[in-house]
A and B are shown apart, each in its own frame.
Chain A
């Protein structure tokens, strides 16, 4: 088993994590943080080129950590790093991924991070806007939890981390559907925590505030200003700050925490 000095105390080395929405933003930051902790990764998003680029970056991270520990670089990274370029709203594709992951030895950590935001005032919301946001932000999360939990039961337990949103907790003008789809994730988290506890599976959510990623490019400057005015730390969050919380929830450092929605929002006040 790889023995990484950095982040070693988390004792995540050799564990296997699935990160959805890993091609950019918060998901990519998580992938790097987990690689530094020696975690074997399965990355999922639609854009193959971005995943490939990230995998190369992650190999360098592994190499660097191994060198620092005086360990030899592996000839082959396939057991440490794999990716699937798929649309998670495709139910058949999700089942296929999890069948493949089962043959690779299962999973210990699932991070449901893929998501999308399409802000619109209520009067302008079409059925397809509702469908498309719920499909990825909520329905795909439910399906991944279904498949991953079965693999975790085989392995004797695990940790599921769902990325919801501050907007799911507090709401925001023009964000009714996104907020509803994320509030559903909080409800899912609290219920699954109860249901899966007897299998030693912990389920928690992280509700990020406003984090500097491509996702927030859809927010107007006025919306950003409005949110910034409510942040105690008076700045946007960094993807790495969400990734660090995720490491904590994935590790045994949070072994007595389940069913929680943890705000990573710089102290938003309403």
Chain B
């Protein structure tokens, strides 16, 4: 906790010159607001699993609008836990507890507040999982699933949304002739891009990706990385990865987590070339993790 504050204060100390009312803003989000609009703010966020284990400890983190935010850190540090909090996935299992705030901008709505409905949150914040998990249905129905959930029934509307999502996920050309074939007949990489298309089809405000390439071969990985970069022009992306090259290649901001804390957050180039915290430096130079 103290580590976090210290690092973030150092950083803001460097970049504070242009900000007029910096003292009133929480230190963690200050560098972001100067240049980029925010899509969400994670504020003093903690998470407890049902067994009482505190997996996230007082994390502060800005999520920039239509940028890629990467979360890196050694395995077990709470990356997935944090990501899954953003669309209330933990609510599926009883006994889990959130503390603090996840504010969706510009409305200022607290996604984990007592009156935020998890189902409505998930309508706005989509998710792509570590292992491709297409539904046992056709390719078309997989992409249409999110629209059907929203009660959209018009064939023409769904047709159009399916095509556009598949195009945005850069898989249209590969599947356009077998839209009604099973999603299970696709390769792992294609399945993952299909899952991205499925997440995109209902036009979420934020798309969460939890190590989306860890089950893929290098070529499929490259395709998904290109895709994520292209998508960031239109949708806000938070991606968890244990692959540091991937984070440095594709993300705009990087957060380094360690044992449930956000140790350092900043521009990706800065985190990788000039980390301010010794733990970050140890991690990115491969001294542990």
Same assembly: no
A-side residues, CB < 8 A to B, are none
